[in-house]
Amino acid sequence: MGSEHISLCPISVEHLEDDPSNLLPLKISDSLFVEDVSEILHETAFDPLVPQYYSKEEVGGLTKAKYALVRRIECEDGEEPNTRAESVRMLYQFYIGLKAIRPTTGRFQVLHYDMGVPKPRLPAGERNDYATILCDCEILNRVRIKDLMELVKLAPCISRTLISAKNPISQAAQSLEIGYRADFLNVRHLLWVVGLDALFTSTEWKNQGKDVAVGRIRDFLGLDFQIYPEQPFAGFDLPTLGSLLLKDVVEQIYKLRNDFAHGTWPDKQWAGRVCRRSLDPGRDIYYAEQLSEAASATLRGCLRKILSDSQSVEIFSDKAKMNSYFASRGLVRRRKKHHSANP
């Protein structure tokens, strides 16, 4: 005998109570929705899970959560393990997709409910070991209605692309997500540039290197891509981000990667250059950290553009097609000509 099973992944969403379109529940894809889950979380008995699985602070955060990515499915007895595994896989795909659109606080975690079991509910659960560490410019981020609508738009490509760990797009998305769990600037930056390399380079000599990657990123995303497309602190007595374009930073993003990768201390002009004040009182944002923010923004911009277009998905899912596309635009590595010293 079967029953309805629900798997939910809490997300940080702006309050939608005043939304005139009565958006929720919002269908993202087959069996997957964004829903108000405050009622089911209120019915959940978290106490038996403390402190072995959750701290009191984590439970406090969960009980205050209101919205989640939710998968609903009818499940026959004995099918629970496979159903839960499929739910985790699907929810993680869209969790990463939403992170590409708009990074927010929290961690990836899933609570599984058998709705045929009487209240109070005691869910099974699983989660990442580390929570998201946002860039300074993203601290105030919450998922908005327009972000959810973009997730709906990207859903078909997310479903068929991020399912395979071997797909270069999936590898880039994984690098994005893992970078947001790292607590060290050099690790975050390296992972985000690894994500860019997964999209734009390959192992052949003519398709390797900083110059190849930089040229292809510029061509694909556009020189005037805005690193800070919004000014989230406008109207508040807070530091402003200012305007920063891809053409101003993409080469420096790769130079900083090379410095970190090869054990070279970044240029003194970078290490000592203050770009703005942080939202964290008493801390400055130096140029190296701004370049790391730019690396994340660039990787997210590329993923969003790719996942919005099935033709781009086809190109970037296949290294041969990707390289052929950029070769047709003259964006390959070339050997430098050596001029003879003889007259």
pLDDT digits (tens, 9 = 90+) for 31-64: 999 999 999 999 998 888 888 888 888 888 888 8
Mean pLDDT over 314-335 rounds to 97
Identify whether the C-beta of residue 108 lies closer than 8 Å to the C-beta of residue 8: no
List the beta strands (DSSP E) in the chain: 3-11, 26-29, 32-36, 67-75, 109-114, 124-127, 274-277, 284-286
Q: How far apart are CA 172 and CA 201, in angstroms?
A: 12
Strand partners, 112: 7, 124
Residue 1: is its pLDDT beyond 70?
Answer: no
For residue 21, the model assigns a pLDDT of: 57
For residue 289, the model assigns a pLDDT of: 94
Residue 271: is its pLDDT beyond 80?
Answer: no
For residue 233, the model assigns a pLDDT of: 63
- Give the chain's mean pLDDT: 90
Residue 180: is its pLDDT beyond 90?
Answer: yes
Mean pLDDT over 322-326 rounds to 98
pLDDT digits (tens, 9 = 90+) for 109-167: 999 999 988 888 888 889 998 999 999 999 889 999 999 999 999 999 999 999 888 99
Please report, for the chain, the start and end positions of each structural domain, with discontinuous segments joined by +: 3-127, 171-327
pLDDT above 70 coverage of the chain, percent: 94
pTM of the model: 0.93
Q: What is the separation of C-alpha 241 from the centre of its chain, rounded to a whole number of angstroms?
A: 21
Helix axes 185-200, 287-307, angle to 10 degrees: 30
For residue 228, the model assigns a pLDDT of: 94
Indicate the range of 168-177, 199-208, 275-284 predicted with least confidence.
Answer: 275-284
Identify whether the C-beta of residue 101 lies closer than 8 Å to the C-beta of residue 5: no
For residue 129, the model assigns a pLDDT of: 87
| C-alpha gyration radius of the chain | 22
pLDDT digits (tens, 9 = 90+) for 214-261: 999 999 999 999 999 887 666 666 778 888 999 999 999 999 999 999
